[in-house]
Amino acid sequence: MKIIIVGCGRVGANLADQLARQGHLVIVVDQQVAAFDALPLDFHGRTVVGDVLAGNVLHRAEIESADALAAVTASDSLNALVAHIARTEYGVRRVAARNCDPRQRLLQETFDIAVVGGAAWEGQRLEQILTDQAAGQEAQP
């Protein structure tokens, strides 16, 4: 599959590397050239530098022929918007947006896309470990 990853932070770099290792054709987009330092030296995919909402950047990432896109920048609204555009404007079949701030989740879901984010789940789990006796014991080494 041809997969576009928007945002090359920790999440993006990791996801891009995993997918490339599985043999997918991966294209990573980020505004900052320095962001690509997060990719491993032996990363097999392509990188595209640019503002993802600027007219030609998604085109340079070959979105017209992409099978999937994940928007995993630090901005929840940008992630939702990019995933939405990929699906509606370019007909990308599988799209997902990362959620950072759980309060922005509802807003993202309005765009009718898959939203993935661990912050709410992590918070709940940590709360369980801190307050629940049984879970606390289980978490000990």
Residue 41 CB neighbour total at 10 angstroms = 5
Based on the shown chain and the rule CB under 8 A, indicate whether residue 104 belongs to the binding site for another protein.
yes
Based on the shown chain and the rule CB under 8 A, indicate whether residue 59 belongs to the binding site for another protein.
no
For residues 33 and 54, which CB has a smaller minimum distance to another protein in the complex?
Answer: 54
Of residues 89, 122, 127, 138, which one binds another protein by CB under 8 A?
Answer: 89
Backbone angles phi, psi at 73, to 5 degrees: -75, 180
Of residues 62, 75, 100, 116, which one binds another protein by CB under 8 A?
Answer: 75
Q: Which stretch binds another protein (CB under 8 A): 25-33, 101-109, 117-125, 130-138?
A: 101-109
68-91: burial string, b at 16+ Cβ within 10 Å, e else: bbbbbbeebebbbbbbbbbbeebe
Based on the shown chain and the rule CB under 8 A, indicate whether residue 61 belongs to the binding site for another protein.
no
Residue with tokens 């576009």: 4
